[in-house]
Structure 1
Amino acid sequence: MPNYRPPAGLSGTPTRVELAAGTPLYRVHAAHRAPEDFNPVPAHCLYGGGRFDSTACDRYGYLYAGLGPATAVCETLLRGVPFDPSGGPRLVPRVAVAGRRLSTLRLTTGVTLVSLTTAGDLAAVHQDSWLVQTEAHEYPYTRDWAHWIRHHTGPWAQGLVWSSKREPGDRTVVLFGDRCPPDALEAAADDPVDFGTPHGEEWLNSVLQPYRVQLPPAEGLF
């Protein structure tokens, strides 16, 4: 549906989902960024960026997270990683994990999200599974749809939640910084998992193993 422009009005009733205070969220992020910091940089309207990032057309801080740690890892690292025709494990380039870590966050307050999980949820915002399943080359369109959904669900919608494309058994969320309280998230007491350490690499490979994925061997790296 990339060529289907959002309609002028919203005729359906978006599905509201509440995430309670204390809900854990898992985020893979650059080590230089605090785990609870929203990304303040708008994506280009046409090039690069994520599925529901802000752009110059609608500026807001945004933060993506998984409801489980494996989901956060899969959503971040498994984009465009093909299966090996010979049946071997898929390999994630080491450059993809350089300077990254997984942090556990907790909501300090409840948040209200627009659910895009079921066909009915999507139909309520004039969409289908394309919105949450399409690949990166169509993200300029999905960002435009996110702006339209925000426009028609303000001010109550503090983010979106949908079934993860790369781990369909779990959900992914994006939170909107302009609609969440400044202290809506706090870093959990658990230490972050730094992927550039022996412990972090072992942990990451253990999470990736069920997906037939691993980091390539690097003898003498540590």
Structure 2
Amino acid sequence: MPHYRPPAEPRATPAKATLPAGTRLYRVHSARRDGGTFNPVPSHCLYGGGRFDSTSCDPYGYLYAGLTPSAAIGESVLHSLPFDPSGAARLVPRVAVTGRRLSALRLTTSVDVVALVTGQDLAAVHQDGWLVQTEARDYPYTRDWAHWIRRHTDPWAQGFLWSSKRDPGERALVLFADRCPPGLLAPTGEDPIDFATPEGRDWLDRILQPYHARLAP
């Protein structure tokens, strides 16, 4: 666990990736909110919160998504779900999907993000796979690193892109409201998939099945 502080200044240039206008994003979110709404509430510096959330040390709106439905499900519903030693399918607690849905969005303009995908990408920000793979116990540290990366990529970095911990072949991302233009995210016209409905639960089980998981009865 690299619990060391970031250096005063980066010694390399963080890698830039551009997501073109029209790119589709998929987001699991509360059914009470629109799919394109950024979370405006900073997390506590030490307790709770997500990998790259804002804090009082660096307040910004943030929005997590995946480039595919599988990435969005893996980074939310499968989060920290261990395998069963007996070999049985992993059971996703119903509470993990209660009041939630998946929405498809599209970028109305291109977005520049810091790439944290390859070993070289991570080394450019003085890090390794720990930054994007560690579990929630280390999120206070990953948030601090996120603030440092943001500070040294101001103003161009509008978010981060990394390999999903649940499926390294998929891509997850976070976008920063303070660096994204209004109206960046638009609906695609597809209906949200509501996990409260039988159809939504069936859809979710089909996505979970290749990951040896399913919704708990």
- Class of the TM-score when normalised by the shorter of the 2 chains: over 0.9
Residue 21 (str. 1) matches residue 21 (str. 2): yes
Superposed counterparts of 1:133-172, under 5 Å? 133-172=133-172
Q: How far, CA to CA, are the matches of 2:79 and 2:22 in structure 1?
A: 29
Q: How far, CA to CA, are the matches of 1:82 and 1:14 in structure 2?
A: 33
Superposed counterparts of 1:77-96, under 5 Å? 77-96=77-96
- Equivalent residues, number: 217
- Structure 2: 5+ residue runs without aligned partners? none
Which residue matches 1:181?
181
Which residue matches 2:56?
56
**1:108-167 deviations in Å (ceiling 9; x for gaps):** 000000000001001111111110011100000000000000000000000000000011
Superposed counterparts of 1:1-222, under 5 Å? 1-217=1-217
Partner amino acid, structure 1, of 2:21: A
Local SS of the residue matching 2:73:
helix
> Is the contact made by 1:2 and 1:141 (CA closer than 8 Å) also made in structure 2?
no
**1:184-221 deviations in Å (ceiling 9; x for gaps):** 1111100000001010000000000001111122xxxx
- Structure 1: 5+ residue runs without aligned partners? 218-222
> Is the contact made by 2:70 and 2:170 (CA closer than 8 Å) also made in structure 1?
no
Q: How far off is 1:80 after superposition?
A: 2.2
Measured on the aligned residues, the alpha-carbon RMSD in Å equals 0.7
TM-score between both structures, scaled by the size of structure 1: 0.96
TM-score between both structures, scaled by the size of structure 2: 0.98
Partner amino acid, structure 2, of 1:178: D
Which 4+ runs in 1 deviate beyond 6 A?
A: none
Local SS of the residue matching 2:203:
helix
